Structure 1
Amino acid sequence: MTDGLPRFAPEDAVGLFGGSFNPAHGGHLAVAEAARRACNLRAVVWLVSPGNPLKAQAGYLSLPERTARVRAMTKGRPAMIASDAEARLGTRYTVDTVAALAGRHPGVRFVWIMGADSLASFHRWRHWRRIANTLPLLVVSRPGQAMPALTSPSAHALRQYRLREADVASLPRCRPPAWAYLPAVHDARSATEIRRREASSC
C-alpha cells in the first residue's frame, strides 16, 4: 500500500504539517511557507487528518473535501503537497504516522511543523515524548499563542533541546529531540471563523 507521498531522496529536508484543515485557510499557508523558508525544506506535506482525536468530530467536512481545499489553496506551489497519508496508512495518532513515514522513507530528514497553539496542548498528544524523539519539531507563531506555547508542560520538558532562532535553518539536520520556535506568522484567521461564516451564508 502506498502512502501517497512522492519519492524523496535521502537527505532531503521535508516538512510534515499535520492538521484537520477544516477548512484550510491563509493562516495555515502562512505557517507552511514560513516553515519552508526558515528550514530550506524541499517540500511541505500537508497531512490532512481523517479526524483529530482531541477535537469533536461534529461539523467536519469530509476528508476528500478538506484535501481538495488544501490542493486548491496551494495550487501553483509545487513545494506544497496535500496528502491523505493517514487514511491510507490507517493511522489515527501522530506518533504512529511519523513512525510509519520514517520507516517508509529512510534517510529523509522529516521535520514536524506545528502552530504555537498546538505546542500549548502538545503534552496531551498520545506519546508526545516519543514524537519529539522521532523527528525535530518546528513551532511557528500564531497570534496570541506565544505565552501559552512557551510556558506549556511540553515546552518546559523540552527546554534544553530548543535551538536559538538564529539556528532554525539547521533544524532538519539536528538529531531529535530538537525544536525551534519561529516568531514569524501573524495571520489571525481561523478555521472556526471560516466555518461559521460559510454556515451563515447558506
Structure 2
Amino acid sequence: MRRIGILGGTFDPPHHGHMVMAEYVYNEMELDEIWFIPSHLPPHKQKAAVSSEERLQMVEQAVAGNNHFKVSSVELDRKGKSYTIDTMRELTRSNKEVKFYFIIGGDMVASLSQWHNIEELGKLVQFVGVTRPGYDWDGKIPVYHVEIPLLEISSSLIRERASVGKSIRYLVPDNVYQFIKEHRLYESD
C-alpha cells in the first residue's frame, strides 16, 4: 500500500515554510509522495489575493525538481468551498491502494475537533501535525507529531512585502519568485 501525504492550503503564495514542512513529513513518516492541493475557497479564510490558476502554477513551480512532490488540482476542479472531507472522500474513492496522511500546522491542530465532519475524516486519513510554538494540541483526535525547524514565513507576510515593493527573494522558491515578478502578482496599484 502506498503512503501519500496531503498538504492542502491556499498557497497564496507557496513559500519555503510549506516546502520544509512537506520535506520533513515526507522523511519522518517515510511516505512515498506528498501531494500539494491548492484550495479553491477555503472555508476558514477570505478569498485568495490571486487567481486559482496563478496559485496552481506557483505550486507547480515550487515543487518542480522534487520527484516525490506532486500537485493535484482536485479542489480547484471541483470549485466551491474546499472542505477537506469532500476532497478526502474523492481521493480515497479513486485511490483504493493508498493510505493518506493529512498534514496540518500546529495552529490547525488546536481546532481540529471542530472541523467539518471530523469523525468521518479521521477514518479516511491519519493526521500529521507539525510542531509550531504557541499552540496546544487537541488530544481528542489522534495526530502524529513531526518537529520541523521554526521558519517565521507566512504567505500574508510575503503578500504584504510584495505590495509595498519590498523584496520577497529567499522567502519563496526561486521559480515562484520569478513567476511572481514576471506576472507582477501582489503589487499594489
After TM superposition, the score normalised by the length of structure 2 is 0.81
CA contact under 8 A between 1:139 and 1:182: conserved in structure 2?
yes
Is residue 199 from structure 1 mapped to residue 170 from structure 2 by the alignment? no
Q: What per-residue deviation string (whole Å, max 9, x for no partner) do you get for residues 55-92 of structure 1?
A: 111x5211111111111122110111122111224572
Classify the secondary structure of the residue corresponding to 1:138.
Answer: strand
CA contact under 8 A between 1:140 and 1:185: conserved in structure 2?
no
State the 1:121 CA deviation: 2.6
Matches within 5 A, 1:104-115: 104-115=94-105
In structure 2, distance between residues paired with 1:185 and 1:70: 21
Percentage of matched positions with identical amino acids: 24
CA contact under 8 A between 2:113 and 2:140: conserved in structure 1?
no
* Structure 2 equivalent of residue 72 of structure 1: 61
* Structure 2 equivalent of residue 125 of structure 1: 115
After TM superposition, the score normalised by the length of structure 1 is 0.76
In structure 2, distance between residues paired with 1:90 and 1:29: 25
Classify the secondary structure of the residue corresponding to 1:22.
Answer: coil
Which residue of the other structure, out of 39, 45, 53, is the alignment partner of 2:35?
Answer: 45
* Structure 1 equivalent of residue 171 of structure 2: none
* Structure 1 equivalent of residue 49 of structure 2: 60
* Structure 2 equivalent of residue 139 of structure 1: 129
Task: Name the count of aligned residue pairs.
Answer: 165
Is residue 156 from structure 1 mapped to residue 139 from structure 2 by the alignment? yes
In structure 1, distance between residues paired with 2:125 and 2:43: 21
CA contact under 8 A between 2:100 and 2:125: conserved in structure 1?
yes
State the 1:97 CA deviation: 0.7
Q: What per-residue deviation string (whole Å, max 9, x for no partner) do you get for residues 166-191 of structure 1?
A: xxxxxxxxxxxxx2111223111011
Classify the secondary structure of the residue corresponding to 1:44.
Answer: strand
Classify the secondary structure of the residue corresponding to 1:109.
Answer: strand
Q: 2:59 is matched by which residue type in structure 1?
A: V
Classify the secondary structure of the residue corresponding to 2:116.
Answer: coil
State the 1:16 CA deviation: 0.8
CA contact under 8 A between 1:34 and 1:185: conserved in structure 2?
no
Which residue of the other structure, out of 82, 87, 96, is the alignment partner of 2:71?
Answer: 82
Q: 2:107 is matched by which residue type in structure 1?
A: D
What do you get for the CA RMSD once the two structures are aligned?
Answer: 1.6
In structure 1, distance between residues paired with 2:75 and 2:29: 24
In structure 1, distance between residues paired with 2:147 and 2:95: 30
Q: 2:145 is matched by which residue type in structure 1?
A: Y
Which residue of the other structure, out of 16, 20, 40, is the alignment partner of 2:6?
Answer: 16
Q: 2:31 is matched by which residue type in structure 1?
A: L
In structure 1, distance between residues paired with 2:145 and 2:68: 22
Q: 1:26 is matched by which residue type in structure 2?
A: H
Unpaired stretches in structure 2, ≥5 consecutive residues: 166-186
